[in-house]
Amino acid sequence: MIDKYLKITKKIATACGVFAAASIMLSIVIVTELVLERYIFGNAITWQPELVTHLLVASTFIGSAYVFAENGHVNMDYFYTFLSEKGVTILKISTSILCLIFFLVLFYVSYEIVSEAFVKNYDTGTIWGPPLWIPYSSMLIGAMLMTMAYIGELLRLGRRLKELS
C-alpha cells in the first residue's frame, strides 16, 4: 500500500518536473518573441511579460514537488553526522510534520483565495487581464502536491523507524 502510494507520488512528481521544465523553455520562446516584437517591429507589448511571469510562478510552485523528490531543496544537515540513524529519522519525521502543517495551511488558504477569485470573477487588472484564479491556482496545486509529497515522506520515514526499532 505504502509502496503504491510512493510510486504514484513519484510519477506525479516527474510529471510536475516535465511541466516546470516545459514552462521555462516556453518562457525563452515567449521572451524572444517579445524582444522581436518590441525592438524589431516596434509593436506594443501586452500579454507576454505577464504570461511568462505566471509561467515562472507556476514552474516554481508545481516544480517544487519534483525538486523535493530529487532531494534538490537545500538544507543544513550538519547535525545528522552527530546522531544515530534512528535519531536522524526521528528528526526528519519532526521536520516533515512541520512542513506538512505548513503546506496544509497553504493549501487551505490558496483554496480560499482561488475560489474567491473564481466566484467573484476577478481578473489580474492588466491590459491583458486573464482571470485571476488561473495564476493563483498554481499555488493551490503546488501546495497540494507538496502535501502529498510530505505524506509520502512521513509514510516512508515511519516505516524506516519501525525497521530500526
Partner 1 sequence: MIENMDPLTLGAVVGIFTVMILFSGIPIAFGLCVVSLVFLVAAEGVQIIEVYAETFYSGINSFILLSIPMFILMGMAVAHSPAGKDLYTGLDRWLWRLPGGLVISNIGACAVFAALSGSSPATCAAIGTMGIPEMRKRGYSARLATGCIAAGGTLGVLIPPSIVLIVYGLATGTSIGRLFLAGVIPGILLAFLFMFWAYIHAYYIDKDSAARLKDRTSPTLKEKLEVLPRILPFLAIVAGVLYVLYGGVATPSEASGVGAFLVFVMIAVVYKIYQPKKIWDIVKISMKESVMIMFIIAASYIFAFSLSTLYVTQSIAQVVVDMGLNKWLLFFYINIFLLVCGFFLPPVAVIVMTSSILLPILTDFGFDPYWFAIVFTINMEIGLITPPVGLNLYIIKGITPDVSLGEILKGSIPFIGMMILCILILCIFPEIVTWLPDKLMGKDAGF
Which residues of the chain form contacts with partner 1 (CB under 8 A)? 17, 20-21, 24-25, 27-32, 34-35, 38-39, 49-50, 52-53, 56-57, 59-60, 63-64, 66-68, 70, 72-80, 88, 91-92, 94-95, 98-99, 101-102, 105-106, 109-110, 112-113, 135-136, 139
In angstroms, what is the minimal distance from the CB of 4 to partner 1? Answer: 26
Q: Which helix (H) or strand (E) holds 6?
A: helix 2-35
Nearer to partner 1, 3 or 38 (CB): 38
Phi, psi of 18 (to 5 degrees): -60, -45
Q: Which residue has the cell 521544465?
A: 21
Cα gap 131→71, rounded to integer Å: 34
DSSP 38: I
Q: Which is nearer to partner 1, 6 or 27 (CB)?
A: 27
